[in-house]
């Protein structure tokens, strides 16, 4: 390849490494049964109504996508109510594609983007890809966005501030009062991106409604997807909500035929599957509480989460070692070093049975690794270790 010229920005981009697949773990460790609790997927599969819509739409698989994209935007506008039209929405090939479009649209001829150091890695990956400067701000002692410190990083060349709430992988949120205070000080030339991919799992009454800011014409784009609550992660459907002028501008970065009418039909059908959504949400909330309480009962530390996973902090054996030990026992979890938290392990909420199996196998691993005999609780042993 002598003489070829390469995009230096692209050469700096770290490759995104997703969670291991069930098939890969079966092959690597010679296992028959594997539970995946690593990638924040729906434990209840996809929406049944979405599956039916896919079957109906397959007859037109030989056609290029037509009006499905417009129909989804219209349906979203109708769902979100007064103040919105189809022109407030842009769809993409998953939430990741939406983030790509936004970054491409606003990072050009330099510029910087401000973000938390512990958050979804695609923010800094896309900023690097398009030649921008990443300004990663350390998180607070309680693993939250340090909004005052992020404000201090904003200057005349700042184009975007990324805020993930609930934040992946910590599960923490930015409250309404915190967001109001932050937005009041953000300069007019800065776009604030609110990644709300996990907003359906928030129970806090102090969680802000991003739609209010968008209706008011603020320089805000909210990003959401159908991957989580609709169970359509494999189909890749995401969207943004923004003031019309911003949405129209970002649409210039949208690829032609970026997704199929088959996928869009599934997304629209899933919006009407209220029974599935409610069942999925209840499963997540109950499972999240079970994992949190069970991990703490073992004497382990985990954060209070507002998303469909919990973050285990400072386990008594190294996180990477715990991840491998669980893989060998047929459970996939995610060491969060790639998310900026080297001392954490993220556990996605599974089915009730999967959650119980995870806790049982985690206890077995801790007993083996720490030499805890039968009859001695893991919690008491860990407390004793802390004193020593």
Indicate which CATH number applies to the domain containing 361.
3.90.1150.10
Q: Please tell me whether residues 216 and 267 are part of one structural domain.
A: yes
Q: Per the domain annotation, does 7 fall within a domain?
A: no
Q: Per the domain annotation, does 67 fall within a domain?
A: yes
pLDDT at 384: 57
Q: Per the domain annotation, does 125 fall within a domain?
A: yes
Q: What is the average per-residue pLDDT within 87-93?
A: 94
* Boundary of a domain, candidates 240, 272, 304: 272
Q: Please tell me whether residues 370 and 290 are part of one structural domain.
A: yes
Q: Please tell me whether residues 170 and 303 are part of one structural domain.
A: no
Q: Domain range for residue 159?
A: 48-272
Q: What is the average per-residue pLDDT within 65-90?
A: 89
Q: Please tell me whether residues 85 and 191 are part of one structural domain.
A: yes
CB 227 within 8 A of CB 259: no
How many separate domains does the chain show? 2
Q: Per the domain annotation, does 243 fall within a domain?
A: yes
Q: Please tell me whether residues 240 and 320 are part of one structural domain.
A: no
Q: Please tell me whether residues 279 and 141 are part of one structural domain.
A: no
Q: What is the average per-residue pLDDT within 217-227?
A: 93
User: With bands split at pLDDT 50, 70 and 90, how would you rate the model's confidence at 177?
Assistant: very high
Q: What is the average per-residue pLDDT within 185-210?
A: 94
User: With bands split at pLDDT 50, 70 and 90, how would you rate the model's confidence at 90?
Assistant: very high
pLDDT at 274: 92
Residue 265, pLDDT above cutoff 50: yes
Q: What CATH number corresponds to the domain at position 250?
A: 3.40.640.10
Q: Please tell me whether residues 256 and 317 are part of one structural domain.
A: no
| Gap between the terminal Cα atoms of the chain | 59
Q: Per the domain annotation, does 5 fall within a domain?
A: no
Tens-place pLDDT, residues 100-122: 999 999 998 889 999 999 999 99
Tens-place pLDDT, residues 293-328: 999 999 999 999 999 999 999 999 999 999 999 999
pLDDT at 388: 46
Least confident of 63-72, 195-204, 215-224, 343-352: 63-72
Sequential DSSP letters for 95-145: HHHHHHHHHHHH--SS-EEEEESSS-THHHHHHHHTTPEEEEEPP-TTS--
Sequential DSSP letters for 238-282: EEEE--HHHHHHHGGGPPTT-S-HHHHHHHHHHHT-HHHHHHHHH
* Boundary of a domain, candidates 212, 241, 272: 272
Q: Please tell me whether residues 60 and 183 are part of one structural domain.
A: yes
Residue 387, pLDDT above cutoff 60: no
201/230: higher pLDDT:
201
Residue 169, pLDDT above cutoff 90: yes
Q: Per the domain annotation, does 30 fall within a domain?
A: yes
pLDDT at 385: 62
Structure tokens at 378: 């893991």
Q: What gap in Å lies between CA 267 and CA 316, rounded to an integer? A: 42
Q: Per the domain annotation, does 6 fall within a domain?
A: no
Q: What gap in Å lies between CA 155 and CA 364, rounded to an integer? A: 51
Q: Per the domain annotation, does 294 fall within a domain?
A: yes
Q: Please tell me whether residues 300 and 214 are part of one structural domain.
A: no
pLDDT at 380: 64
* Boundary of a domain, candidates 227, 251, 272: 272
Q: Please tell me whether residues 80 and 174 are part of one structural domain.
A: yes
Q: Please tell me whether residues 369 and 244 are part of one structural domain.
A: no
User: With bands split at pLDDT 50, 70 and 90, how would you rate the model's confidence at 20?
Assistant: confident
pLDDT at 78: 93
Q: Please tell me whether residues 67 and 188 are part of one structural domain.
A: yes
pLDDT at 74: 94
Beta-sheet strands, E only, within 336-386? 344-348
Mapped onto helix, strand or coil, the DSSP state of residue 175 is: coil
User: With bands split at pLDDT 50, 70 and 90, how would you rate the model's confidence at 142?
Assistant: very high
Q: What gap in Å lies between CA 196 and CA 213, rounded to an integer? A: 14
């Amino acid at each position: 390849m002598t003489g070829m010229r390469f995009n230096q920005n692209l050469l700096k981009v770290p490759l995104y490494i997703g969670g291991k697949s069930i098939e890969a773990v079966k092959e690597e460790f010679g296992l028959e049964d594997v539970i995946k609790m690593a990638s924040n997927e729906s434990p209840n599969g996809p929406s049944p109504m979405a599956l039916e819509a896919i079957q109906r739409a397959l007859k037109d698989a030989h056609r290029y996508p037509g009006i499905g994209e417009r129909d989804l935007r219209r349906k979203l506008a109708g769902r979100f109510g007064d103040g919105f039209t189809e022109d407030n929405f842009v769809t993409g090939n998953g939430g990741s594609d939406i983030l790509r479009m936004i970054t491409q649209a606003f990072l050009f001829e330099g510029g910087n983007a401000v973000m938390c150091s512990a958050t979804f890695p695609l923010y800094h990956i896309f900023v690097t890809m398009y030649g921008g400067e990443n300004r990663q701000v350390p998180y607070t002692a309680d693993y939250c966005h340090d909004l005052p410190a992020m404000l201090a990083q904003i200057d005349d060349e700042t184009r975007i501030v990324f805020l993930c709430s609930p934040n992946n992988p910590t599960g923490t949120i930015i409250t309404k009062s915190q967001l109001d205070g932050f937005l009041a000080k953000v300069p007019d030339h800065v776009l604030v991106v609110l990644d709300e991919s996990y907003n359906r799992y928030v129970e806090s009454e102090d969680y802000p409604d991003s739609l209010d800011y968008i209706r008011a014409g603020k320089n805000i784009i909210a990003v959401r997807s159908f991957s989580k609550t609709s169970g359509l992660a494999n189909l890749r459907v995401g969207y943004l909500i923004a003031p019309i002028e911003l949405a129209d501008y970002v649409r210039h970065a949208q690829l032609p035929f970026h997704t199929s009418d088959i996928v869009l039909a599934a997304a629209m059908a899933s919006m009407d599957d209220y029974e599935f959504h409610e069942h999925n949400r209840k499963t997540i909330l109950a499972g999240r509480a079970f994992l949190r309480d069970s991990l703490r009962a073992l004497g382990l530390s985990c954060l209070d989460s507002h998303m469909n996973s919990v973050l285990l902090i400072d386990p008594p054996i190294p996180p990477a070692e715990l991840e491998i030990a669980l893989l060998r026992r047929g459970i996939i979890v995610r060491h969060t070093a790639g998310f900026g938290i080297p001392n954490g392990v993220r556990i996605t909420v599974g089915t009730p049975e999967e959650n119980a199996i995870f806790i049982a196998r985690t206890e077995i691993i801790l007993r083996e690794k720490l030499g805890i005999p039968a009859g001695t609780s893991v919690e008491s042993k860990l407390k004793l270790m802390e004193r020593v």
